[in-house]
Structure 1
Amino acid sequence: MGKMEGQEEMGFYGDQFDTNNIIGREKEDSGSDNYDTVSVEDVPEGASQIKVKGRRKRYHRHTPQQIQELENFFKNCAHPDEKQRLEIGRRLGLESRQVKFWFQNRRTQLKTQMERHENVVLKQEYDKLRIENIAIKDAMRSPLCQSCGGPAMLGELSMDQHHLRVENSRLKDELTRVCALAERFLGKPITDVVGPISLPGSNSSLELSMGRGGLSGFMSSPASLPMGHNLENGVSSNSTMTNSMSGPVSTEYEKTMFMQAAMAAMDELLAMAQTDSPLWFKGLDDGKELLNHEEYLKKFSGFIGMRPCGFITDASRETGSVFITSSELVDTMMFPRRWQDMFPCTISKATTVEVLFNGAGGNRDGELQLMNAEFVFPSPFVPFRQEKILRYCKQHSEGMWAVVDVSVDMIREPSFSGSSIKSRRLPSGCIVQDVANGYSLVTWIEHVEYDENCIHQLYRPLLRSGMAFGAQRWLATLQRERDCAAIFMSSRIFPEDTTVGAVTQEGRRSILKLMRRISNNFCSGLCASSACRWEKLQVGGLGADVCVMSRVSIDEPGEPSGVVLSASTSVWLPVTRQHLFDFLKDEKLRGKWDILANGGPMEVIARLSKSHDGNNCVALLCPPAAPARESNMLILQESWTDRTSSFIVYAPVDSTSMESVLRGGDSDYLALLPSGFAIADAAILPNVLTLANDNGDGGGTGGRGASALTLGFQILVNSLPTAKLTVESINTVNDLMSCTIQKIRDSLGVN
């Protein structure tokens, strides 16, 4: 921490100490006031006097012209003699004694500021030595054998020998770093210039590289950071650091190393965000921006290392206007709960493991966090991504901020050899610039490498297009959520809106909070997220594409107690996403697929719009059957769509409890289990006719397209938490799901 604190005092990003600024500032103070000490005998009789141990202070103020002349003379001569003082006093109208005291004060001030500067320099040197000491101590805990490269026992070495080996290792690292720098500037390996150089295995944890020239420069050698490169003797250069970082972050050295990685990741993010960057080019088919991998590897290959076998790259960039200020977005990104709420059905779980560095000046500038996050896509065919990331926030100018993420595994083990990790996040994040009227221009960059073998064939084209986890989805979700909050929390009434009585602002806020909870719970039930502690079940007789899970809920707020069963699957349909969304959202056609409607249309009790076009809304529906009316059961439904996906999520609710929520009551204790649909664009299969749709956009296919429909049901099969799950319950849910899919196919005429 010492080095970082020293940097903050001098300017966190390498600003050098400027003595001219301090001297200039103290020049203004040096001559404005002058005090000289005189004897009490010099005070005339009858004059007021304040005695302080027989002496008093008399105050004199010099004019700016006098100060300027004195400063000019001081630059040439800091110790004037008596004759010079008399000449200066005569020319400036001052007594010789006043001139003498002014020069004394000025010399004292100069000495003080020089001492202050020396203190800062010494503090920097102290911090540097302190970090080096920590690194050496870490190396001493696991020394390497000189002959075999394996761990050595300290008892086998004398302390002098051990220190010599540590110094030898440091010098080897320094040689490696110099060779890497020479290679960067010469454009070819140093061995081509000076002949072959043997680079034995080194302990890279003994040296800190403070470069800021991008990730390629930061990670260009084993000395910069332990990246696991195999050197000529076959010994991995990061063996010591990998062991020391396998546990929680605790040492100052590890924190400093993470800060360096985060700063370098920020440099890469800014480089990729430049509009004229050669890192991006337009695709020929749809004009979408694509990453120029050749240019990227030239500039940043030192950081990412070799791409793991079977991994593919998902890189995307998107820019748009969002109704949010830069400070609001930054606070949302750095606060896990708010980040999760802002991106429902994208983030199922987010926690802060450790705040490594707090922001400077009482804000988020320079804050670095170690976080755990689960990224989900609403389908059982796409496994959720569980990642540990470094998140770094930096203010670059007034109203302009950037937030960058990078996988911790990118630093610890970039090769991923023998690892079970299925994805790794390269520097990704957003740059936000305030515009006007509460709007900001947001540039979002997503860069991930993942194992495609674990993805179902139905969703592979979608993931490659960036619509599943790419920048398009992040920015579209952010725009939709912010527009929804602005409209839903305003007093504006749309023509499509119908309400039962007056819904208060507190009621709107409660409904918005409730729907976010329903959406997150629905998605967690589709992709087996750990946020809800689902347990997958292996049941014979079910299709391979059906995912069945269960969990036990005991006194969970917002959920009924008992055994909960979740069943989900995804199917391909030859209809456009918009056409399928309109069909499922229409309450008049609900009886064609929903068993709760008993074959008839549902009555709209209340509707609240969340977008200008009416596609995004919250509706309270009443089933037409008499038993449902007598039981006071209603259907709370939320529907929304954007350019990447569409959702219809609903849950049965008690009418009395719902009336309390509409009046502003706490929605956290309203027990419900969500079900619904998630719709995404899908590739058109060859030799398959698709349903024409004049009203839909067809997903860019001119009115012809295909959709990937995911449906999921969550049902309370037994109200006793200790009850055993039966095969009959599983078969009942499976039959419900199969029946619903068949009814949708029949209604759309796509059998």
Structure 2
Amino acid sequence: MDFGDDVMDGNDGQRRKKRYHRHTPRQIQQLEAMFKECPHPDENQRMQLSRELGLEPRQIKFWFQNRRTQMKAQHERQDNCFLRAENDKIRCENIAMREALRNVICPTCGGPPVPDDYFDEQKMRMENARLKEELDRVSSLTSKYLGRPITQLPPVQPLSMSSLDLSVGGLGSPALGPSLDLDLLSGGSSGYHHHHPSFHLPTAVPELERPIMAEMATRAMDELIRMAQAGEQLWARTGGGHDGGREVLNVDTYDSIFAKPGGSFRGPDVHVEGSRDSGLVFMSAIGLVDMFMDSSKWMEFFPGIVAKARTIDVLVNGMAGRSESLVLMYEELHVTSPVVPTREFCFLRYCRQIEHGLWAIADVSVDLQPRDARFGAPPSRSCRLPSGCLIADMANGYSKVTWVEHMEIEDRVPIHLLYRDLILSGAAFGAHRWLAALQRACERSACLTTAGMPPRDIAGVTPEGKRSMMKLSQRMVSSFCASLSSSQLHRWTMLSGPNDVGVRVMVHRSTDPGQPSGVVLSAATSIWLPVPCDRVFAFVRDENTRSQWDVLSHGNQVQEVSRIPNGSHPGNCISLLRGLNASQNSILILQESCTDASGSLVVYAPIDVPAANVVMSGEDPSAIPLLPSGFTILPDGRHGASSSSAGPLGSPAAGSLVTVAFQILVSSLPSSKLNAESVATVNSLISTTVEQIKAALNCASHSWMDGSMGN
């Protein structure tokens, strides 16, 4: 909140311009705590607060004056709202009863209905008083249950029928018809980046809510720091490996240390995910803080985890947008598979510089009203409990990051069998996955900003050309990950495939500048392979083995004509591939492969030679259309499964969860309809690719956890 101090000029008695001071969340928290105890502090109390908070006594005085005025206005508005609602309700009941009585006939005499003046003013006043007493009683009970006045709840938003998708269309039926109308498919009117969250998001935080949110953020920050620095009493190691496995939260100990008012009751469908990990990251602490506080960079750094993110409101803009900054953000997390529902959070993100070179970023969920009617069934409610990072500057451009993840998840939708172990183990959204993805993203960012990148390239490609290719590839990877989102509004339709390989399809009209314009069909399937993740990754990224699975290459070999390393692992690179068949000389394939301790990606998209020349010359690649396809490879989560046979999470014999995804341009005309032939083609394309990969990896006969994705 901003509070102004009016200062009178002693010479001319004229009022100077108001000076505004924005208090920090910590100052607001202490002022609010004092206000609860004593709304009218005396001079000694104001002087003590002045010394503790570093504020002028005059500022303290005006803060309490303004706060009392706010509370008075709030109470008046509350009373007015209640009385207005009561009067409206009584008027509606009165009108309804009058209408009903117009048709009433006396059963004794058969005379006319009761006259209007039957409802005299005195009786209405008595009924009004009774209703007010009942309302006060219910409001008091609700306030005790929620821990805050009922008037601070967000208002109920009317549901717009025009925004609802009321039909699924041809693809949802068991048998495919000859013509499938694109307009009837969910998400058909927009691309991947324009869906709405499943709950109401405010455009800005009301002024009365800001002190409450500041207090929430401060408490979350204190809890995060304690959790990040706690010892074995709070954290236990699971799994094995040379690093001792993952650190997971001891929930019982947490509940006893951080006891909440009223206890820690959880429903039967709620499970807790708590994990911690720490490691070195190749980026300065300031650079990391800037990334955390910028929702666009946040989504850019974690395309395989963060499907969507945006800043709703900046509650406090701290020094240089960093220390003491408080923002309200929205994010949607995913596992890059069409069978795993996304998790949505609306949360506060609070940044604090603890000391020189040491920063903390704390997140905590803000409860908002769900709009369940949109989906026909209540969505899974996910709550981010105090989580975040401690970031310490180290030498040579590195930072040490201690990451804490803590969520309460209510699973109302059964978890698909393929991903059950990965999700229930907490590994899918755990701290180790976030940290591994951050380390990889920081390495990639360092390569992007480094002028002297290693050559091993076709002659004549400048550093600017390499950076342009990296930017184009980054957009390709982000688009691919977004295309696999399984949010409530991205409704995938299941098709049957040969050998019981289930395939999911979804269509949308592509209007984004970075995609071909027209109707795009996305198809994906997820399978389990009894092969370690690193072996699957090496197979699908190697240009020498590509002909064994790439149906579109027709068995022809491809040659790598350009490579840009973007990480310390030899598999982290961007390549340009060229088909050795004479008929394919006009088309190149842009491919990025990346891997870390938690999973791998291989993404590719065809580009023509003129577009490749534009990129290699260092020009802006934003206008080049891409339609990416590829693979995501994750550990199956069983018995401390690892993404690598030598990885930190354990077993070299662990299996892999592989998602295969294709996107094809059905028509360049946005008004065209999707036909059954296109669906059958992409269905066959994915099924054949899966069978060829299984055959090449000698696991065609294995079927455990493999098969239909119908659940």
Pairwise same-fold verdict (TM > 0.5): yes
The alignment status of 1:734 with 2:672, answered yes or no, reads no
Q: 1:376 to 1:200 in 2, by over 3 A?
A: closer
Aligned counterpart for 2:70 among listed residues 105, 127, 131: 131
**2:224 — aligned with what?**
269
Task: For 2:462, give the aligned amino acid.
Answer: T
Aligned counterpart for 2:324 among listed residues 366, 381, 388: 366
**1:601 — aligned with what?**
557
Contact 1:592 1:744 in 2 (8 A): yes
Q: How does 1:199-348 map to 2 (within 5 A)?
A: 202=140, 222=144, 228=146, 239-244=150-155, 248=202, 249-276=204-231, 278-283=233-238, 287-302=245-260, 305-348=264-307
Contact 1:621 1:637 in 2 (8 A): yes
Task: For 1:228, give the aligned amino acid.
Answer: L
Task: For 1:392, give the aligned amino acid.
Answer: Y
Q: 1:458 to 1:296 in 2, by over 3 A?
A: same
Aligned counterpart for 1:711 among listed residues 649, 660, 665: 660
**1:465 — aligned with what?**
425
Aligned counterpart for 1:442 among listed residues 385, 396, 401: 401
Task: For 1:732, give the aligned amino acid.
Answer: T
Deviations 1:144-176 (A, max 9, x none): 99xx9x9999x9889xx99x999x99xxxxxxx
Q: Structure 1: which 5+ residue stretches go unaligned? A: 26-115, 170-198, 206-221, 230-236
Task: For 1:749, give the aligned amino acid.
Answer: N
Contact 1:344 1:516 in 2 (8 A): no
Aligned counterpart for 1:610 among listed residues 566, 572, 575: 566
Structure-1 separation of matches of 2:390 and 2:477:
27
Q: How does 1:22-37 map to 2 (within 5 A)?
A: none
Q: 1:641 to 1:702 in 2, by over 3 A?
A: same
- How far 1:527 sits from its partner (Å)? 2.4
Q: 1:19 to 1:372 in 2, by over 3 A?
A: closer
**1:51 — aligned with what?**
none
Contact 2:251 2:272 in 1 (8 A): no
Q: 1:738 to 1:136 in 2, by over 3 A?
A: same
The alignment status of 1:669 with 2:623, answered yes or no, reads yes
Task: For 2:417, give the aligned amino acid.
Answer: Q
**1:565 — aligned with what?**
521
Structure-2 separation of matches of 1:620 and 1:332:
29
Q: 1:614 to 1:265 in 2, by over 3 A?
A: same
Contact 1:433 1:441 in 2 (8 A): yes
Deviations 1:186-239 (A, max 9, x none): xxxxxxxxxxxxx9963887xxxxxxxxxxxxxxxx4xxxx627xxxxxxx754
Q: 1:646 to 1:397 in 2, by over 3 A?
A: same
Structure-2 separation of matches of 1:741 and 1:438:
43
Structure-2 separation of matches of 1:10 and 1:404:
14
The alignment status of 1:515 with 2:473, answered yes or no, reads yes
Structure-2 separation of matches of 1:559 and 1:321:
36
Structure-1 separation of matches of 2:465 and 2:276:
37
Question: TM (normalized to structure 2)?
Answer: 0.73
Contact 1:466 1:472 in 2 (8 A): no
**1:585 — aligned with what?**
541
Deviations 1:460-509 (A, max 9, x none): 22123333211111111111111122234324454xx5322233332232
Structure-2 separation of matches of 1:372 and 1:735:
38
Structure-2 separation of matches of 1:511 and 1:351:
26
- How far 1:613 sits from its partner (Å)? 3.3
The higher-RCO structure (CA 8 Å, 6+ apart) is 2
Q: For 1:270, what is the secondary structure of its paired residue? A: helix
Q: 1:584 to 1:383 in 2, by over 3 A?
A: same
Structure-1 separation of matches of 2:49 and 2:650:
65
- How far 1:292 sits from its partner (Å)? 1.2
What is the RMSD computed on CA atoms of the aligned residues? Answer: 3.8
Deviations 1:670-699 (A, max 9, x none): 1110000111112569xxxx9xx9x94378
**2:635 — aligned with what?**
681
- How far 1:251 sits from its partner (Å)? 2.9
Question: TM (normalized to structure 1)?
Answer: 0.69
Aligned counterpart for 1:548 among listed residues 488, 495, 505: 505
Of stretches 387-396 and 730-739 in structure 1, the one that deviates more from structure 2 is 387-396
**1:420 — aligned with what?**
379
- How far 1:363 sits from its partner (Å)? 3.5
Contact 1:698 1:705 in 2 (8 A): no
**1:489 — aligned with what?**
449
- How far 1:459 sits from its partner (Å)? 1.2
Task: For 2:685, give the aligned amino acid.
Answer: L
Task: For 1:482, give the aligned amino acid.
Answer: C
Structure-1 separation of matches of 2:251 and 2:445:
38
Contact 2:50 2:60 in 1 (8 A): no
Contact 1:377 1:384 in 2 (8 A): yes
Task: For 1:598, give the aligned amino acid.
Answer: H
Q: For 1:459, what is the secondary structure of its paired residue? A: helix
- How far 1:344 sits from its partner (Å)? 1.7
Deviations 1:702-737 (A, max 9, x none): 532211111100110111111100111011101000
Q: For 1:409, what is the secondary structure of its paired residue? A: coil
- How far 1:350 sits from its partner (Å)? 1.2
Q: For 1:587, what is the secondary structure of its paired residue? A: coil
**2:704 — aligned with what?**
none
**1:722 — aligned with what?**
671
Deviations 1:75-132 (A, max 9, x none): xxxxxxxxxxxxxxxxxxxxxxxxxxxxxxxxxxxxxxxxx96523421321320332
Aligned counterpart for 2:79 among listed residues 140, 145, 165: 140
Determine what percentage of the aligned residue pairs are the same residue: 35
Contact 1:699 1:705 in 2 (8 A): no
Contact 1:536 1:549 in 2 (8 A): yes
Higher Cα radius of gyration:
1
Task: For 2:449, give the aligned amino acid.
Answer: M
Task: For 2:514, give the aligned amino acid.
Answer: G
**1:194 — aligned with what?**
none
Q: Structure 2: which 5+ residue stretches go unaligned? A: 4-19, 32-44, 92-120, 158-199, 372-376, 701-711
Structure-2 separation of matches of 1:254 and 1:405:
17
- How far 1:606 sits from its partner (Å)? 0.3
Contact 2:501 2:525 in 1 (8 A): no
**1:656 — aligned with what?**
610
Q: 1:201 to 1:684 in 2, by over 3 A?
A: closer
Structure-2 separation of matches of 1:544 and 1:570:
9
Structure-2 separation of matches of 1:412 and 1:240:
18
Q: For 1:527, what is the secondary structure of its paired residue? A: coil
**1:456 — aligned with what?**
416
Q: For 2:336, what is the secondary structure of its paired residue? A: coil
- How far 1:300 sits from its partner (Å)? 3.0
Contact 2:496 2:502 in 1 (8 A): no
Q: 1:251 to 1:526 in 2, by over 3 A?
A: closer
The alignment status of 1:349 with 2:308, answered yes or no, reads yes
- How far 1:21 sits from its partner (Å)? 10
Structure-1 separation of matches of 2:367 and 2:557:
53
Structure-1 separation of matches of 2:49 and 2:577:
73
Contact 1:606 1:619 in 2 (8 A): yes
**1:431 — aligned with what?**
390
Query: Counting helix residues as a fraction of each chain, which structure ranks higher?
Result: 1
